[in-house]
Structure formats: structure tokens, C-alpha cells
Amino acid sequence: MRLRRYCVKIALVYDRLNKIGGAEYVLQEFAALYPEADWYTSVWEPSQAPFSRLWKVHPSFLNKISLLRTHHEWVPYLMPFVFESFDFSGYDVVISITSAEAKGIITRPETLHLCYCLTPTRYLYNDLDTYIHDPLSRLVAKKLRDWDQVAAIRPDIMIAISEHVKKRIKKYYNRDSEVIYPPVDIKKFSVPIHESKIINNTSEFYLTVSRLVPSKRLDILVQAFNKLGRRLVIIGSGVEAARLKKQAEKNITFLGKVADEDLVKYYQGCQAFVTAAEEDFGIAMVEALAAGRPVIAWRKGGAAEIVKDGVTGILVQQGGSEPLQRAVQQLDTMHISSDLCRESAEQYGRNVWRTKIKERIEAACKMK
């Protein structure tokens, strides 16, 4: 790899390695791109992040307290100290992949710090009211926001995962960034599969794949499909699972986590992928398109960049469950080409991302 001519040693930094989600797939692509790199993070729980078991991970001092490995949210006020305590003096390039504090690391002037920004910290800015309620927590959030403003200055280069995130970086951090869309393993979802019991047993169904957390607004989907009476399959787990199951009628099925092979079958077998979340990008939407299935989503966030309204899906104005109900009914009257869906997903392929990210880092190394 040409990068070795300019940069010898690389470190990768992530906020915390204790879960699996869309961001964690991005981490795995960075690990594949730089397999010899060291990883730094606040807390590491391999049982919750099995993909990282073979990485060279350096967790912070917080990792010595076992409960904090899965409950990092108990000590948000310690995170600035955690990331400022890491020593990167032995590295030529440090890449922070972050939606929170990892961008706040301190590096030497001669070390290149590139930040792959998943989003400005949601619980400090646009989702503050969703996550923070009591006065003490709001005071802590204000202090963290002050630190976050300083942290956002530290990277030499900031790359956003979407135009939507680029605008938020400008709004909250007042700095420019460039866009390199995150990688998606589109080939896995576009390879034809044989008919399976999974598809036969579910007949016609709609699909969503998501962590079951408040910001994903699964409650709106549940309301919509309760009224529609159509089959909705929800894949994913999270703290909202019990509450959502209580709200859901019998036409809504919760499957929790499923094997990768089964996930592909659900994508390819659904009528359409539906989401009520305002995504920073939306890897699951791209996976659905790669499987040849249309997407119904809000006309906001990453969906507005990924979905071509009327061509690869339907974009609706945000406003509760009724617009989603109408969109599902509208889809019945439309013909969406599976081939066009697959073609639209090509621009987000892993090889496209690898080429762009390598070229950007190599160019930055030459100038450093």
C-alpha cells in the first residue's frame, strides 16, 4: 500500500467498543484497511463487540471497572479526561472515528489527525431534549458541550459521512468538512438467494432493521402499521423493545438479532424497507436498495441523499404516522425497479469507500 511510503505507524480511535450497530461496521472496514493499526477507546467489552476480539485494543483506565464497560453513560464527565490521557507520540497518523469524544484526542503537531465524523455529538446538540432531562444532567451537558467545541478544533482534517452531517458540522462546529460516504457490503445483499422458509412463512411483509432506542422512532412505525394492519417485521434489539412490544398489534413481529444469512433473506423478501428515524446516513437503507427493495423514509437526513423519490422509494414529509401510512398505500400503485434500486446502491460499495479514504489519507500525509 502506497501509504507506507509516507506514514509508518497508524492508530485508530473510537468512542467505545461495547456494541454492534451501523458505526461498528465502519470500524470493521477501517480495521480491514489497516490491519496492523492499534486501537484506542474509552471502554472495551469483547463479548458485546466480538468483531474486535483480534484487534490490538488499548482501552482507558475506565475499563478496569467492569460495570463501566457496558454502562459508560454513567460517567460522561470523565470522557474528556479519558481521550486526552492517551499518548499518540509514537504514531504518524491517528484516525478518530467518532460521534462523541474521540475527536478530542491530543496529538503532536507533526502527527496527522484525521477525524471521520459520524455526527456531531447528538446528546449535546440536536437530540439534547431526548437524552437529557434533569437540571444536573443539563449542567453536565453544558460543560461537555464547551469541551466538545474545543475538541472539534483538534483534528487536522474532518470528513463527514453525508452531506447532512457536513451541514451539522458547519452549524455546530463552524468548520468545513468533506464527504466520503461510509462503506456498505452491497454484494452480500445483492447476490440472489433461493426461496427460504423465512420468506414463505412471512408472506408479504415490510421490514425495518434498527437498534430499538428512542432516537430511531420505532414507535411511529408501530403506530402506522397498527392502523394499516399490514405485516411489519422488526429486526434489532435495544432498551425500547419491551415498550414497543406492548404497543404493537399481532401483525408486527419482533425478531431481535438474526444471523447475517437470514438478514439477507429478510431484506430480499420484503415488500419495502421502512424507517421513521432521521438518520445521519442510513446503512440499512442502502442494504435494502442493494437487495433490490424500495425504501420509505422521511425527506430528511441521509435518506434524502440515498433514496430517489419515486424511483427507488418514497420520501415523505415528517409528521407522525399518517404520512408513512399513505406512503405504504401509495407504493401499491407504483412500479419500483429492483435493478434501479441495486444500481443506486453501487456508489456506497466498500471498494468505492476504500479507494476514496486511502487517497485522502495519502494526500494528507504528503502535505503534513
Same domain, 197 and 306: yes
Same domain, 217 and 326: yes
Beta strands in 77-224 (DSSP E): 93-98, 112-117, 157-160, 178-179, 206-209
What pTM, to 2 d.p., does this model score?
0.89
Residues 6+ positions from 103 with CB-CB distance below 8 Å: 96, 115, 117, 151, 152, 154, 155, 158
Other CB atoms within 10 A of residue 361 CB: 22
User: Looking at the 3D structure of the chain, how many domains does it have?
Assistant: 2
What local confidence, expressed as pLDDT, does residue 13 receive?
Answer: 98
Whether residues 155 and 24 fall in one domain: yes
Together in a domain, 12 and 118 = yes
Is the domain of 167 the same as that of 105? yes
pLDDT digits (tens, 9 = 90+) for 157-191: 999 999 999 999 999 999 999 999 999 999 999 87
Examine the domain organization and report whether 214 and 334 are in the same domain: yes
- Determine the 3-state secondary structure of 352 from DSSP: helix
Does 143 share its domain with 239? Answer: no
Same domain, 201 and 165: no
pLDDT above 70: residue 2:
no
Whether residue 230 is found in the same domain as residue 290: yes
194 and 328 share a domain?
A: yes
Instruction: List the CATH number of the domain containing 315.
Output: 3.40.50.2000
DSSP string, 254-302: EEES--HHHHHHHHHHSS-EE--S--SS-HHHHHHHHTT--EEEESSTT
Instruction: Residue 321: name the closest of 280, 275, 281 by CA.
Output: 275
Q: Residue 13: enclosing H or E segment and its boundaries?
A: strand 10-14
In this structure, the answer to whether residues 194 and 327 fall within a common structural domain is yes
* Structural domain boundaries enclosing 203: 186-347
With bands split at pLDDT 50, 70 and 90, how would you rate the model's confidence at 193? low
Q: Report whether pLDDT(367) > 70.
A: yes
**Closest residue by Cα to residue 244 from 202, 216, 269:** 216
Residue 195 pLDDT:
46
Q: For cell 462503506, name the residue.
A: 183
pLDDT average, residue stretch 270-297: 96
Q: Do both 208 and 218 map to the same domain?
A: yes
